[in-house]
Amino acid sequence: MTQHSVIDDAVIRSLEKYFHDLDGTQPTSVYDMVIHAVEKPLLETIMRHADGNQLRASAMLGINRNTLRKKLHQHGLL
């Protein structure tokens, strides 16, 4: 049996509820839906903890600063 983090458990619970609520309807684009749902609050939280400093935030995330700027723009966070 594998151990899950609190975040893993939250994602699993949310997805199980999503599939339950579909009541048998075939879902589409689940990957994009989950990434979009998780990415914005992730970016908001990281930016808050980095005091708005994009260089620090990109280091915390392990992504390039230009990639961070693109994602912040996509989510209307600039």
Quote the CA–CA distance of 8 and 51 in Å, as a whole number. 26
Fill in the amino acid letter for 47.
M
**CA distances (Å), 56 to each of 19, 68, 73, in order?**
37, 11, 17
DSSP 13: H
Q: pLDDT digits over 35-71, tens only?
A: 999 999 999 999 999 999 999 999 999 999 999 999 9
* 3-state SS class at 44: helix
Domains of the chain: 6-74 (1.10.10.60)
User: Whole-structure pTM over 0.85, yes or no?
Assistant: no
- If one counts every other C-beta atom within 10 angstroms of the C-beta of residue 57, the result is 22
Q: pLDDT digits over 7-39, tens only?
A: 999 999 999 999 999 998 999 999 999 999 999
